[in-house]
Amino acid sequence: MSADSLALRALRGATTAPANSIEAISEAVGELIEALVSRNDLEGSRVLSVTFSVTADLDACFPAAIARRRGDWDAVALLDCQQMAVAGDLERCIRLLAHVWMPAAQEVTHTYLREAVRLRPDLAGAAAAAGPENHTPASSLADHCGDGG
């Protein structure tokens, strides 16, 4: 594939950790990255940057440090930050924004897992079809002054 047929894309994703522990956060971040890579057929050399944000109740470790363990992400710019605190926001939530080079004709698949499917119920149908780890609760946080996802 020639470089001319690639387009710079922004991919969004989010998940939740069941607890504020290194193990729980590592598992959630690893699962989110694997799903994002798989669903978008990404190659490590085409991932430019990933910014992670976490809610204030997650402080056991840095998601970027977990992502840095991927052997094919050695040149990826990784950054962590704290998500803006909004009353009623999803607890123990890890969000990401990735900038990647993808084939121009390829459709982007944003990835929302676990309780984070509530952030983007408009994408929940695609997420639910993609795997059993996704479930859509009845209430939606997307109505909370925007999607926040």
Indicate whether 144 belongs to any domain.
Answer: no
Indicate whether 83 belongs to any domain.
Answer: yes
pTM: 0.82
Which residues lie across from 29 on neighbouring strands? none
Q: Residue 77: what pLDDT?
A: 98
The closest alpha carbon to 76, from 116, 24, 37, 28, belongs to 37
CATH number at 43 reads 3.30.1330.40
Range of the domain at 54: 3-106
Indicate whether 28 belongs to any domain.
Answer: yes
Phi/psi class of residue 114: alpha, beta or left (left: φ > 0; alpha: ψ in -120 to 50)? left
Distance CA 26, CA 65 (A): 9
Phi/psi class of residue 113: alpha, beta or left (left: φ > 0; alpha: ψ in -120 to 50)? beta
The closest alpha carbon to 149, from 9, 20, 8, 11, belongs to 11
SS3 of the chain: the string is CCHHHEEEEEEEEEEECCCCCHHHHHHHHHHHHHHHHHHHCCCHHHEEEEEEEECCCCCCCCHHHHHCCCHHHCCCEEEEEECCCCCCCCCCEEEEEEEEEEECCCCCCCEECEHHHHHCHHHHHHHHHHCCCECCCCCCCCCCCCCCC
Indicate whether 114 belongs to any domain.
Answer: no
Indicate whether 90 belongs to any domain.
Answer: yes
Indicate whether 143 belongs to any domain.
Answer: no
Indicate whether 91 belongs to any domain.
Answer: yes
Walk along the chain (149 residues) and give the pLDDT tens digit of each residue: 455 699 999 999 999 999 999 999 999 999 999 999 999 999 999 999 999 999 999 999 999 999 999 999 999 999 999 999 899 889 999 999 999 999 999 999 999 999 999 998 887 655 444 444 443 333 344 443 444 55
Indicate whether 92 belongs to any domain.
Answer: yes
Q: How many domains does the chain have?
A: 1
